[in-house]
Amino acid sequence: MVKLSIIIPVYNAERYLGRCLDSVIRALKGISGEIIAVNNNSGDGSMAILEGYQKKHPKLISVLQCNTAGAAAVRNFGAEKAKGEYIWFIDADDEISETSIEKLLQATNKTKPDLIMIGATRIYPDGHTDHLSPVSSKEKNYKSRFVRYGMGPWQVIIGREWWREHNFKFKEGMIHEDMEMMSTLILYTDKYAYIDEPLYLYYQNPESVLHKSRFNPHIFDIFPALEGLYQRFVDAGAEKKYHDELEWFFIWNLLIDSAKDFGMFPEGRVGFSRSREMLKQYFPGWRKNQFLKQKSLKLRIRVRLDYHK
């Protein structure tokens, strides 16, 4: 049986694709796994690179074409084709460590978790790095922190049958599609594990969809993403239990993270008023949030200022 399906969405990634594929091939050496590379209408040389790697590794690499635009559609498409016991979504401009898959499979053999969260090294364009720690299952309220974390799809390895059993899918047609779903996964399992080692190399690519130098109206996708996230908690009957966590998630993403994008371009400034309306609708008492109170005075002042912009 295939132990691990690695799903790689590919869109105009010719500059990084070889580096990514080489890292996965090294990590899979001697291990039962598959690479599902899904091309998404790339206009550069990505497809030629994929075909070259497939020719060299025909039993390991499957190259597929998904014509529906967006990373969400590609991930959903790849997950449907996967045959592995576990699935791992990897971005085409990143890498994995040479021992990553070996360590992941050791963890799955011990406890058979539905969900494994890993550590990562975040690499900035100037070369400096920092470490992204996973949520430890040894923490007393680890599910609370998981909900607040905001991890990317690449930071978790997922049991394929569990994924399909719950009919998990990324919402298509927008960015922030991972935000709309990732924090909800922990609501559906107690079979959780973590590996606090940098198994993933996460490159901060200035050309990515979230790091554009020109205005992108998709920055406003934050609003339907947060609406979708909240609805998922309602559907799971968990919105009251995780009220403070969700409230903090809204505060962070509207008044801290997305506020940087709203203020960068004149066309984006309407995002500030939309943020105020969303907080009034969902969390009118947000100023008293327990997690906000734990932050520095500087950050709390910044949040207040961004709210009134």
- 119: CATH: 3.90.550.10
> What average pLDDT does this structure show over 159-176?
93
141 shares its domain with 228: no
- Top pLDDT among 211 and 109 is at 109
Domain end (from 158, 180, 203) = 203
- The CA distance from 19 to 256, in Å, is 33
182 shares its domain with 244: no
pLDDT at 205: 72
Average pLDDT of the chain to the nearest whole number: 93
| Residues found in the chain | 309
Residue span of the structural domain in which 249 resides? 217-307
- The CA distance from 184 to 238, in Å, is 9
User: How large is the angle between the packed helices 222-235 and 270-282, nearest 10 degrees?
Assistant: 10
Q: Domain total for the chain? A: 2
61 shares its domain with 199: yes
Q: Band of the pLDDT at 206, cuts 50, 70, 90?
A: low
Instruction: Answer for the pair 114, 160: CB distance below 8 angstroms, yes or no.
Output: no
129 shares its domain with 239: no
Residue 209 maps to a domain: no
Q: Band of the pLDDT at 110, cuts 50, 70, 90?
A: confident
- By C-alpha distance, which of 253, 268, 290 is closest to 219? 268
Residue 92 maps to a domain: yes
pLDDT at 208: 56
Burial level of 300, CB count in 10 A (0-12/13-18/19+)? middle
> What average pLDDT does this structure show over 2-11?
95
pLDDT in tens, 212-252: 567 788 889 999 999 999 999 999 999 999 999 999 999 99
Answer whether residue 297 shows pLDDT above 80: yes
Residue 210 maps to a domain: no
194 shares its domain with 276: no
- Top pLDDT among 176 and 194 is at 194
225 shares its domain with 269: yes
192 shares its domain with 252: no
Domain end (from 179, 203, 227) = 203
41 shares its domain with 135: yes
196 shares its domain with 234: no
> Residue 251, Cβ neighbours under 10 Å: how many?
23
Buried b (16+ CB within 10 A) or exposed e, 46-61: bbebbeebbeeeeebb
- The CA distance from 90 to 6, in Å, is 7
Residue 144 maps to a domain: yes
